[in-house]
Chain A
């Protein structure tokens, strides 16, 4: 068998991500969509650490990391300089949920308010995974992390996930979308659209983390699909603040998603916590109503 030559990936093999890493797949797909004419700005996080251990890099495009909190500010500066010089590179921020939801909020808010022509992509693995699974503003209700451990006196994380896409849409962002690595073609399309939309655009991509969530590395895609099929994650697009399109599903009960992950095991063992599961089911139901994701058959409509 002969190999097809000259097909080099822009996000190269040899990076140190765990086997079955969701964010690593997200990085590959982002560069597949963005192409060579791109400058990537990263914040501190899993992706920064596994893709660029000194003095090596897995990125085939210019890449810069400054601090945890200022990726959006660095990108703003790069975009302004590129515009001044009349260059055509696209600026993309690739940051984790900790850097986006918590630490970098100030700089992101500034960049979106000034409407720099950047694309901000948050790979959402729902906790600070790089430092050992601490909860963030993106951690869902009742997930057990090292800073919200489940036990006799605790049922895990007490707060639901922050609704960041809507916060950034409220800044007047022309294009805001959520995606999932489990639907690669949809994600690539959304990245392409965000890059080609003038102004500050935001994409939040659900990237399951086998180490932090506690599932078999081969299940990364399946877990991401379950999140969508249960209604706990909704893939939608917002154009000028209005939801334009949401992925419709035949919804499954949330237990299927929760049972598959170690971080939710305390909801089933030693005894099932029906009340807590009902709370999570109510969140999925609320999502279904808000985004109208339920597929209804003809008989059900009547």
Chain B
């Protein structure tokens, strides 16, 4: 991080911190089984589940920490957690 006079850093946004690297399990969304209720987007602590134009949802893997709340809460069981391979 470049420091300025007085060692004060420039203000920034948390968005530049890509928390997706923390993930151990990856949520895989199956849009064909989605009922478009939007609960996954509501319960995501990161707010990184995004609505698509079709009304279904996709996760932003740049930020998803893989907590599995969306998969656990999905009433249609249309989200599956699979082990991340890096």
* B-chain residues with CB within 8 Å of residue A184 when the two chains form the complex: 42-43
> In A195-252, which residues have CB < 8 Å from any B CB?
210, 216-222
Is B69 on the interface with A (CB-CB < 8 A)? Answer: yes
Query: How many angstroms from the CA of A55 to the CA of B13 in the assembled complex?
Result: 8
Out of B9, B11, B31, B69, name the residue touching A20 (CB < 8 Å): B69
Verify B15–A14 contact, CB threshold 8 A.
yes
Is A1 on the interface with B (CB-CB < 8 A)? Answer: yes
Out of B11, B14, B18, name the residue touching A12 (CB < 8 Å): B14
* B-chain residues with CB within 8 Å of residue A17 when the two chains form the complex: 45
Verify B14–A51 contact, CB threshold 8 A.
yes
Query: How many angstroms from the CA of A54 to the CA of B12 in the assembled complex?
Result: 9
Query: How many angstroms from the CA of A220 to the CA of B22 in the assembled complex?
Result: 18
Verify B18–A14 contact, CB threshold 8 A.
yes
Verify A14–B63 contact, CB threshold 8 A.
yes
Is A166 on the interface with B (CB-CB < 8 A)? Answer: no
Out of B12, B58, B72, name the residue touching A218 (CB < 8 Å): B72
Q: Which residue from chain B places its CB closest to the CB of A55 in the assembled complex?
A: B9
* A-chain residues with CB within 8 Å of residue B11 when the two chains form the complex: 55-57
> In B45-67, which residues have CB < 8 Å from any A CB?
45-48, 50-54, 56, 58, 60, 62-63, 65-67
Q: Is the interface of A mostly helix, strand, loop or mixed?
A: loop
Verify A1–B54 contact, CB threshold 8 A.
yes
Is A295 on the interface with B (CB-CB < 8 A)? Answer: no
Verify B68–A20 contact, CB threshold 8 A.
yes
Is B83 on the interface with A (CB-CB < 8 A)? Answer: no
Verify A218–B68 contact, CB threshold 8 A.
yes
* B-chain residues with CB within 8 Å of residue A20 when the two chains form the complex: 45, 65, 67-69
Is A3 on the interface with B (CB-CB < 8 A)? Answer: yes
Q: Which residue from chain A places its CB closest to the CB of B58 in the assembled complex?
A: A1
Query: How many angstroms from the CA of A3 to the CA of B62 in the assembled complex?
Result: 15
* B-chain residues with CB within 8 Å of residue A218 when the two chains form the complex: 67-69, 71-72, 81
Query: How many angstroms from the CA of A52 to the CA of B14 in the assembled complex?
Result: 8
Q: Which residue from chain A places its CB closest to the CB of B56 in the assembled complex?
A: A1
Q: What are 22 sample pairs from A and B whose C-beta atoms fall under 8 A apart?
A: A3-B51, A3-B53, A9-B47, A13-B48, A14-B16, A19-B66, A19-B67, A20-B68, A21-B67, A24-B45, A25-B45, A55-B1, A55-B10, A56-B13, A57-B11, A58-B13, A218-B69, A218-B72, A220-B69, A221-B43, A221-B69, A221-B73
Give the 6 A-B CB pairs with smallest separation, nearest first. A218-B68, A20-B67, A19-B65, A58-B14, A19-B67, A14-B14
Residues of chain A touching chain B, judged by Cβ–Cβ distance below 8 Å, are: 1-4, 7, 9, 11-22, 24-25, 28, 51-52, 54-58, 184, 210, 216-222
